[in-house]
A and B are shown apart, each in its own frame.
Chain A
Amino acid sequence: MKWARQRPEWLAGWLFAAPAVAGIGLFLLVPVVLAFWASFRDWNGIGPLGESHSVGTANYEALLVSDGLPRSDFAVALRNNLYYVLGVVPLQTALAFGLALVLNQRYPRLRGFFRAAYYFPSVTSSIAISLIFIFLFQTNGIVNAVASGVFGAEPVNWLENADGVLHLGLGALGLDLEQPPTWLTGTTVLGLPLWDWLSGPSVTLLSIMLLAVWTTSGMFMVIFLAGLQNIPEAVEEAAVVDGAGPWRRLWSVTIPMMRPTLALVLTLGVTGTWQVFDQVYAISAGGPQRTTLTPAYLIFRDGFRNFSMGRASAIAFVLLVVIVASTLVSRWLLNRKERA
């Protein structure tokens, strides 16, 4: 008993934390360290990692420096995912914010119903949702039926269409897509011509982007809603007393006070969209013509299908750098807006 009383408190603290620390260490830290180590080795993902050989930085060079298929695939994956992030993050944030504003109006009963309804997609299996979207986006599917019924549009092949949206737009403006300007085709970055970097998302990737916006905005709406309900009513009332109209209140009171929530949603959005995998896996497997290949899918393909686990690990760490960098950029944009 005396022994127990003399024992320092920190020991008890560590003891209580031990299961969590062991869990995080075992399932997070150890795999991360092992993956980092593997990214410098020629590991095929089949034999024991210890029996693989060191290849120095060859895996990273194959992705970023050496001319070859791995660099070309990686550049295409980066391009696709960049368009995916640039399209999905602003759209889902705006949609979620708009929905939250609407739901934050006065009808508490309806609020409960719509909150559940919009949140539903984010608790549904993304594979199941993807399969439903495959039916919606078929050439004879509902999307085309509505588009042709309402707008008289020609049916579009959504799910096997590698045409870049920006290219299509340039074509509509009269640019000859068969003969793009030579300064765009001649200059290459990471082995990919500028013209290909500027393709925009393919039509198929665009369908996946729409799916992602629809699936995730419900979850972000709930976060926004929580943020909105934290804004003290007194502040809103003070603005009303000062004679501010609804728009003025939105821009000068609500949005500034929502900045922390907005930062959270943007960070979650950017990190999530850079890791898109399941929709690609279920809908397109990286095709058509690599236009839905993303770094996360490339990790899976190279590591688990093509037995280049070392290079797949290297992709994971380059992706980590990309995610950190783009999160910083999004935070910087948000802060800059506030100072302005």
Chain B
Amino acid sequence: MRRPLPLATALALVAVASLAGCGRAADPNRLRFMAFSAGPAEDEALRAAIAAYQRVSPVRVELNIVPDYETTLQAALAGGNPPDVFYVNDIRLPDLASAGVLAPIGDQVENPADFHPALRRAFSYQGRFYCPPKDFSTLALAYDERALAAAGVAPPRTWAQLREAARRLTRPGRKGLVMEAQFERWGAFLPGAGGWLTDAGLTRMTANTPQVREGFGFLAGLHRDGLAATPGQLDAGWSGEALARGRAAMAVEGTWLAGAAAKDFPHLRWAAVPVPAGPRGGGTLSFSVCLAVAASSPVRDRALGLVRFLTSPSRMTAFTDRFPVMPSRRSLTARWTARNPRLAGFAAGVDQARSVVFRPGFPEVLDALNDGIQGLAVGDRRLDEVLERVDWAGRPVLAGGAR
């Protein structure tokens, strides 16, 4: 090698290398769809749905199931070249909608009034229904049938019955109730006390009120009296595992318990009743995922076509038959409940379900609340102090202060 690499060649190489990967020819027959999945069963249901779409549409759908979904989606959005269609968790909706990255297509699918009102609300921001929910889950009180039968305890329907049942089911090596120490479980008991973290218009924090104190106080009392525990205290990764290993007799868990039970602990005989009702009635939490279309997608019409197909009643029926999630359309609920009698406890709470959706910036307030709930569950924080702190943390966020 006598001569160094000619300058022009080197520059050309650098230029080619930096251009590769940038830029994307907008192929109108290609649609990029990013999703996440809870496991092989959901993977398969999703692939079957896409295969069905490919039979009726010439548009080629590139399905990308991503493990670390939230981070990948955020990077794709910030990079300005997001997938055309993607899943959005309800808790992320306010932040994504306020950032203007979602096309408001919720009302452009078939019969949009058919979606459960609570889910419509969860995916609406400032009055616009952004994206149709593909399906949803609720929390219910799942229980070990054999344990309850052996103790002669009927599935509890009210708080008083829940406490009594937990007392009679607790014995050395087993707690009556297992519950994750987070708002996504504890919040299910707030409607029963008539409380919530904010007022309906999201203008004012209402965490530090007698209603919330009553709801959380009930659960903190169960933990304090040794009738309830967190999965971690029972050496379990999550509540379902604690239930399956016989370390707890009851658990507040979501519809996904059905899938996990069928796969990981088929020996468990379990059933579910709605979250027990408090002095102000029943209620539960719902968790949902919608099918969003990117505002910046060059093929928005085709993306909408895929979303319409996937959220149509027939496809939704096919999907929710393969996989234990509930159809987000009211017209399909009765049929689903009839087919899944064991999951009736989850479906029964649909009408009083609330979602954990607030406003942009609110997730960090929930982080602060979760710290407090962890303290209440192990008994080293005082309820008054926790609620005061959440109120204090939430006020600047509701006032629209610094993000």
A12 touches B78 (CB 8 A): no
Interface code A23-38, partner B: CB below 8 Å = 1, 0 otherwise? 0000000000000000
B401 to chain A: closest residue by CB: A68
B364 touches A44 (CB 8 A): no
Q: Which residues of the other chain, A, contact B332 by a CB distance below 8 angstroms? A: none
User: Given the known A-B contacts A18-B14, A304-B70, A307-B360, are A46 and B232 also in contact in the complex, defined by CB atoms under 8 Å?
Assistant: no
> Could you tell me the distance in whole angstroms from the C-beta of B216 to the nearest C-beta in chain A?
15
Q: Which of B251-308 contact A (CB under 8 A)?
A: none
A59 to chain B: closest residue by CB: B402
User: Given the known A-B contacts A4-B3, A47-B100, A157-B233, are A163 and B361 also in contact in the complex, defined by CB atoms under 8 Å?
Assistant: no
Neighbour of A15 across the interface among B10, B99, B101, CB < 8 A: B10
Q: Which residues of the other chain, A, contact B98 by a CB distance below 8 angstroms? A: 44
B365 at the interface (CB under 8 A from A): yes
> Could you tell me the distance in whole angstroms from the C-beta of B325 to the nearest C-beta in chain A?
23
Alpha-carbon distance between A18 and B7 when the two chains are bound, in angstroms: 11
A273 at the interface (CB under 8 A from B): no
B363 touches A289 (CB 8 A): no
A162 touches B99 (CB 8 A): no
Neighbour of B230 across the interface among A70, A160, A311, CB < 8 A: A160
B367 touches A306 (CB 8 A): yes
A159 at the interface (CB under 8 A from B): yes
Q: Which residues of the other chain, A, contact B71 by a CB distance below 8 angstroms? A: 304
User: Given the known A-B contacts A12-B4, A46-B74, A289-B375, are A310 and B403 also in contact in the complex, defined by CB atoms under 8 Å?
Assistant: yes
Neighbour of B402 across the interface among A58, A160, A305, A306, CB < 8 A: A58
Alpha-carbon distance between A51 and B203 when the two chains are bound, in angstroms: 27
Neighbour of A22 across the interface among B14, B232, B371, B372, CB < 8 A: B14
Neighbour of A44 across the interface among B18, B95, B372, CB < 8 A: B95
A162 touches B232 (CB 8 A): no
B403 touches A44 (CB 8 A): yes
Number of interface residues of B (CB under 8 A): 43
A18 touches B95 (CB 8 A): no
User: Given the known A-B contacts A18-B14, A140-B235, A304-B74, are A290 and B95 also in contact in the complex, defined by CB atoms under 8 Å?
Assistant: no
Q: Which of B289-333 contact A (CB under 8 A)?
A: none
A162 touches B393 (CB 8 A): no
A287 to chain B: closest residue by CB: B374
Alpha-carbon distance between A45 and B360 when the two chains are bound, in angstroms: 13
User: Given the known A-B contacts A69-B393, A157-B232, are A288 and B374 also in contact in the complex, defined by CB atoms under 8 Å?
Assistant: yes
B390 to chain A: closest residue by CB: A69
A50 to chain B: closest residue by CB: B80
B224 at the interface (CB under 8 A from A): no
A301 to chain B: closest residue by CB: B367
User: Given the known A-B contacts A22-B14, A289-B381, are A159 and B232 also in contact in the complex, defined by CB atoms under 8 Å?
Assistant: yes
A147 at the interface (CB under 8 A from B): no
Alpha-carbon distance between A310 and B403 when the two chains are bound, in angstroms: 8
A290 touches B402 (CB 8 A): no
- Taking residues whose C-beta sits less than 8 angstroms from the other chain, chain A's interface range is 35 or more
B153 at the interface (CB under 8 A from A): no
A261 at the interface (CB under 8 A from B): no
> Could you tell me the distance in whole angstroms from the C-beta of B364 to the nearest C-beta in chain A?
5
Q: Which residues of the other chain, B, contact A68 by a CB distance below 8 angstroms? A: 393, 396
> Could you tell me the distance in whole angstroms from the C-beta of A304 to the nearest C-beta in chain B?
5
Neighbour of B403 across the interface among A139, A304, A307, CB < 8 A: A307
A48 at the interface (CB under 8 A from B): yes
> Could you tell me the distance in whole angstroms from the C-beta of B397 to the nearest C-beta in chain A?
8
Q: Which residues of the other chain, B, contact A49 by a CB distance below 8 angstroms? A: 78
B10 touches A18 (CB 8 A): yes
Neighbour of A69 across the interface among B230, B360, B368, B378, CB < 8 A: B368
Alpha-carbon distance between A56 and B35 when the two chains are bound, in angstroms: 37
A19 at the interface (CB under 8 A from B): yes
User: Given the known A-B contacts A48-B78, A62-B402, A69-B368, are A162 and B100 also in contact in the complex, defined by CB atoms under 8 Å?
Assistant: no
A290 touches B371 (CB 8 A): yes
B235 touches A308 (CB 8 A): no
Q: Which residues of the other chain, A, contact B363 by a CB distance below 8 angstroms? A: 305-307
Alpha-carbon distance between A162 and B373 when the two chains are bound, in angstroms: 13
> Could you tell me the distance in whole angstroms from the C-beta of B265 to the nearest C-beta in chain A?
18
B96 at the interface (CB under 8 A from A): yes
A55 at the interface (CB under 8 A from B): yes
Q: Which of A18, A58, A160 neighbours the largest number of chain B CB atoms within 10 Å of its CB?
A: A160
B100 to chain A: closest residue by CB: A47
Q: Which residues of the other chain, B, contact A196 by a CB distance below 8 angstroms? A: none
B14 touches A46 (CB 8 A): no
Neighbour of B5 across the interface among A15, A62, A290, A311, CB < 8 A: A15
User: Given the known A-B contacts A4-B3, A162-B375, are A46 and B70 also in contact in the complex, defined by CB atoms under 8 Å?
Assistant: no
B380 at the interface (CB under 8 A from A): yes
Q: Which 4 A-B pairs have the closest CB atoms?
A: A160-B232, A46-B99, A69-B393, A307-B95
Query: What are 23 inter-chain pairs, A to B, with CB distance below 8 A?
Result: A15-B4, A16-B4, A44-B360, A44-B403, A46-B78, A47-B77, A49-B78, A62-B402, A69-B368, A70-B364, A139-B235, A157-B233, A160-B378, A162-B380, A287-B374, A288-B232, A289-B372, A306-B363, A306-B364, A307-B360, A307-B361, A308-B361, A311-B402
Chain A positions within 8 Å of B, measured between CB atoms, are 4, 11-12, 15-16, 18-19, 22, 42, 44-49, 55, 58-59, 62, 66, 68-70, 73, 138-141, 157, 159-160, 162-163, 286-290, 301-302, 304-308, 310-311
Contacts A140-B235, A304-B70 known; list 11 others, CB within 8 Å: A18-B10, A22-B14, A22-B18, A44-B98, A47-B77, A69-B364, A69-B396, A157-B232, A288-B378, A306-B364, A307-B361
Chain B positions within 8 Å of A, measured between CB atoms, are 3-5, 7, 10, 14, 18, 70-71, 74, 77-78, 80, 95-96, 98-101, 230, 232-233, 235, 360-361, 363-365, 367-368, 370-372, 374-375, 378, 380-381, 392-393, 396, 402-403
